[in-house]
Amino acid sequence: MYAVIETGGKQYKVEKGGTIQVELLDAEPGKDLTLDRVVLFADGKTVKVGSPVVKGAKVQAKVVGHSRGKKVIVMKYRAKSRYRRKTGHRQHYTTLKIEDILLE
């Protein structure tokens, strides 16, 4: 059984017992979370595709912790004008452990 959820403007395929890293959520580590934007639900026999979401489908997850991704270096350069800028960015993530996938 698996589901495709949407959070932070991105879609993630999740299975029971798995972990995923999503965009930073405002939740403390150890807290339970219910994600109700389920775009697709499949249980092995049937597949339900939402328009835009599957009605009655929920994913229950537990917040494992928060972390930051690898640094991405951004360079700006203009030829013949002595213009150079170097900046970096580290994205903040929340790690979720998928507890259960429910369909009512």
Kindly list the domain boundaries of the chain, sorted by start residue. Answer: 2-103
Residues 63-74 pLDDT 10s: 999 999 999 999
Residue 52: asked if its preceding bond is cis (omega within 30°), the reply is: yes
Residues 44-87 pLDDT 10s: 899 999 999 999 999 999 999 999 999 999 999 999 999 999 99
Q: Which DSSP letter does residue 82 get?
A: T
User: Encoding tokens for residue 30?
Assistant: 């150890």
Q: What is the pLDDT of residue 58?
A: 96
Neighbours of 30 (CB within 10 A): 9
Give just the sign of the alpha carbon dihedral 59, 61, 66, 67: negative
C-alpha gyration radius of the chain: 19
| % pLDDT > 90, the chain | 98
Residues 18-37 pLDDT 10s: 999 999 999 999 999 999 99
pLDDT at 104 over 90: no
